[in-house]
Homo-oligomer: A and B are copies of this chain.
């Protein structure tokens, strides 16, 4: 890219919406992952026509374009590894329509999840995928990553909520996929293909999203376990029993210790805590669900069972989980919390085995690793706590991550539950989907013949993220 390119982009979006000073390029060079790179320029389109013009220009000049929301992705999805244009979609953040009778809303991709839910609240409905990062995460990014969150066990993921999208292709064409109707059997589900495509196929400029009624009541409970395997057996039994919890969360001992250290919460440092929530319109129904879940916990030696409908009590029970993510960095002052092998999906019946395996592998490589997550969705989160200044830490992390993913595949799991693939998980993803990579590349070529959209990700991501990407933490 040269100054003529910058000039052309300024003509399209206006002077103020093109950033190319070093500080901005630094900020837009990373997301919430371990990777970094440097774009040539950041462009902030204000409307669809501008996105089309940018894409037409970039395509004619073969300039990479990386669509980006808030950069809360954890796997390097929006790190511009081949330079080019970071397309900051946050200015396109209008809520275009809320249609309670027809059960959907229509939004621009830059709308922040929490803002959308605030706007939906007066209608008595909510948009369910809602990841933990909902205070910053944009709807466009959630769709691109097939995001979900704590309540996906009952309410589904971005793939379920996304009814229709408008997208701009690499060549600037504007297309509509899907239908806002409740069902549709009109051929190829290109709207679903966009979900999880991580900006590699087209730029999402509008989305029609399904919403669901806000439940009147929620009841949150917890149970403690002296063995991780007992908590795991409880999870499998709960999910196999016909119960429909609205949340089911696992927290392991390392996570509890971290939360206690960071917040003086004084949680008992047992091997595992299960948190469970049931919601609905009628208390009788919720009582039945919570009762069944607690019976199953007791059967598997769960103790200190408690539950409450009261907001204050629920906040107390939830406090450990709420503070978990920021607390992990405080487990040990010499260790940083890194998003590596941060999010796998495994069958419910393998959750405990998976958590045990993670600890075993951590011990083997001298790393500290947590195991927590939305176990009701088969979602296992970890963080690797390590001394990021030491090269050996990265080597050990690389080996540990690879072994964890080998295990996940061996039990019928998949590389990512809700955080996506990007670069950090590309190696594992490519192993999991080895036979289909050529087909994926052919599909990408159908959308983006010049490979300008977010190149170097997913099936074209690095086989070795330590050697082949620039790490944010690396001091050497």
Contacts and interface: CB of A to CB of B under 8 A. Distances in A.
B187 A429 contact: yes
A173 B239 contact: no
B244 A417 contact: no
A146 B182 contact: no
A181 B442 contact: no
Contacts of A315: none
A2 interface: no
B180 A416 contact: no
Given A184-B414, A196-B189, A439 B446 contact: yes
A176 interface: yes
A346 interface: yes
A179 B213 contact: no
Contacts of A439: 169, 175, 190, 446-447
Interface string A133-156: 000000000000111100011000
B192 A189 contact: yes
Contact of A436 (B175, B181, B201): B175
Contacts of A345: 179, 181-186
Number of copies of this kind of chain in the complex: 2
A281 interface: yes
A186 B429 contact: yes
A236 B100 CA distance: 9
B413 A183 contact: no
Contacts of A240: 100-103
Interface in A172-221: 173-177, 179-190, 192-193, 195-198, 201, 213
Interface stretch (A14-22, A297-305, A418-426): A418-426
Nearest to A380: B181
Interface string A82-120: 000000000000000001111100000000000000000
A189 B195 contact: yes
A56 to B, nearest CB: 16
Contacts of A173: 435
B187 A377 contact: no
Identify which of A179, A195, A236, A440 gathers the most chain B CB atoms within 10 Å of its CB.
Answer: A179
Contact of A187 (B180, B196, B281): B196
B189 A418 contact: no
A202 to B, nearest CB: 9
Interface stretch (A27-35, A282-290, A388-396): A282-290
A186 B421 contact: yes
Nearest to A374: B183
A198 B285 CA distance: 41
A345 B163 CA distance: 13
A416 B183 CA distance: 9
Given A124-B242, A192-B159, A181 B440 contact: no
Given A103-B240, A159-B189, A175-B435, A378 B285 contact: no
A445 B443 CA distance: 9
Interface string A232-252: 000011011010100000000
Interface in A386-437: 412-421, 429, 432-433, 435-436
A258 interface: no
Contacts of A237: 101
B159 A414 contact: no
A419 B414 CA distance: 32
Contacts of A418: 183, 185
A125 interface: yes
Contacts of A412: 179-181
A236 B101 contact: yes
A469 interface: no
A99 B240 CA distance: 9
Identify which of A288, A416, A439 gathers the most chain B CB atoms within 10 Å of its CB.
Answer: A439
14 contacts: A100-B240, A101-B236, A152-B182, A157-B183, A179-B413, A181-B346, A182-B376, A185-B343, A185-B418, A187-B198, A187-B433, A213-B242, A280-B285, A443-B446
Interface of A: 99-103, 124-125, 145-148, 152-153, 157, 159-160, 169, 173-177, 179-190, 192-193, 195-198, 201, 213, 236-237, 239-240, 242, 244, 280-282, 284-285, 288, 343, 345-349, 374, 376-379, 412-421, 429, 432-433, 435-436, 439-440, 442-443, 445-447, 458-459
